[in-house]
Structure 1
Amino acid sequence: MKTVAFIFARGGSKGLPGKNIKSLNGKPLLQYSIDTAKKVAQISDIFVSTDCAAIAAVARQNGVKVIERPAELATDTSPEWLSWRHAIDYVTEHFGAFERFVSLPATSPLRNEQDVQAALDKLSSTGADICISVTPANRSPYFNMVRLQADDSVEIVVKPEGAVSRRQDAPAVFDITTVVYAAAVTFIQQHSSIFAGKVVATVVPKIRAVDIDDIYDFMFAEAVLQSELYDAEK
């Protein structure tokens, strides 16, 4: 079963301009995703989808192929799902058919190859349409998240069965991360959203689940990369 990895990295970023090729601990952010993909034995090819010449240059310098993304698929409001479909169509037309799709967003540089392999394994073992990555959430809708009512009172977002006096007693909840997405190509071609099919997840520890959106995320990721704790978790 042929598996192809993609990194979707557009040029426009309002939160942190130029972030996808900004130097993080000595190398472009984009390169972290490329390096990880190269370590996964089941991945047979790697493509970077971008609308930006500078990003494309970094991709080629790292030995991966580039897909020129149309401008209409590279705006702030463009659904990434459509970019996924565009990339699949491009690779199928120019390089032949493949069965498994992996997306490794450049904004998650702290993942490792085991995180990617875990998603591929879960996808295969469960027969799911897509495997996403999640990490334990800090807050819980069963315990410390509330919503405002019309009379200015508040209520818990999800009322648990019975009393919950400690967060540890509430059902475990997780945040979706951008560490890895692994999916059947036919699922992406035939549907329009992640939760349109059978979705499974692989759990990633918080230290590897950083998603860089602004300079504070970037600074945190750099601090983690330089820490002994991250070396121990790799």
Structure 2
Amino acid sequence: MPGKNIRMLMDKPLIAHSIAQARATGLFAAIAVSSDSDEILDTAREHGADLLIKRPDELASDTAGKLPAILHALTETETRLGVVVDYLIDLDATSPLRLPEDIQACADLLTETGASCVITGTPAHRSPYFNLVERAPDGTVHLSKQLSSPVLRRQDSPECYDMNASIYGWRRDVLRDDPKVFYPDTQLYVMPRNRSIDIDEEMDFAIVTMIMQQRQAK
């Protein structure tokens, strides 16, 4: 997760942006925003979120996982609305360069394939079969993954993808019964690199801001 300072800098405008993206798809019966911050929830209210979900303390620490917070938001949503949802789509505010079309495509992939989960990614910048290495305790390095025959050109290595943390989708019953991301039938929706930057530090935020400004100028 981004550090506290960069989170304070970016969270409010990016939450508003994520709500607008969700609304633009016309897909959602309800748009919920989950946060431990009253300021973030106030921003969400101002920009039309249907449900504001305050996270309990145990889900608001720097060591808290993503899935427990999503399950809490799912439970709160269903309780408040008095419904049981069929699907859940998570839009991570720190990966805002997706388009509404990407959200729609992920929803289509989830429903048309019957998959338990859909994630998003982009072609990997490094290959674990060619130029991604691990360091052993003695300081020596080796390729993260090795095939029976060495890969002489990166183009010949198996296709690999970086998860971009932009969109996650689940079938509700699967997530409720077995909360995780990687099931035997998890599907991948591939996005281009220029829509796949996940903000983790100030440089990422600067790049995303520049790209978004260029989009608005067109």
Confirm or deny a common fold (TM above 0.5): yes
Question: Which letter does structure 2 place at the counterpart of 1:37?
Answer: A
Q: Please give the residue correspondences for 1:30-45 in structure 2 after superposition, counting only pairs within 5 Å.
A: 30-45=15-30
Question: Which letter does structure 2 place at the counterpart of 1:51?
Answer: D
* Larger strand percent: 1
2:16 partner SS:
helix
What's the RMSD between the two structures over aligned residues?
2.1
Q: Please give the residue correspondences for 1:128-167 in structure 2 after superposition, counting only pairs within 5 Å.
A: 128-149=115-136, 152-167=139-154
Query: Offset at 1:185?
Result: 0.9
Query: Offset at 1:114?
Result: 0.9
Distance 1:62 1:150, change over 3 A: closer
1:94 to 72, 80, 84: 80
Task: Provide the C-alpha distance between the structure 2 equivalents of 1:59 and 1:100, rounded to a whole number of angstroms.
Answer: 21
TM-score (norm 1): 0.85
Task: Provide the C-alpha distance between the structure 1 equivalents of 2:217 and 2:154, rounded to a whole number of angstroms.
Answer: 30
Task: Provide the C-alpha distance between the structure 1 equivalents of 2:154 and 2:163, rounded to a whole number of angstroms.
Answer: 19
Aligned pair count reads 216
TM-score (norm 2): 0.91
Q: Contact conserved, 2:98 with 2:195, CA < 8 A, in 1?
A: yes
List 4+ stretches of structure 1 deviating above 6 A.
none
Query: Offset at 1:78?
Result: 0.9
Q: Please give the residue correspondences for 1:33-182 in structure 2 after superposition, counting only pairs within 5 Å.
A: 33-64=18-49, 65-95=51-81, 96-149=83-136, 152-182=139-169
Query: Offset at 1:19?
Result: 3.6
In structure 2, the gaps of 5 or more residues are none
Identity of aligned residues (%): 33
Task: Provide the C-alpha distance between the structure 2 equivalents of 1:197 and 1:131, rounded to a whole number of angstroms.
Answer: 11
Query: Offset at 1:103?
Result: 0.4
1:16 partner SS:
helix
Distance 1:185 1:231, change over 3 A: farther
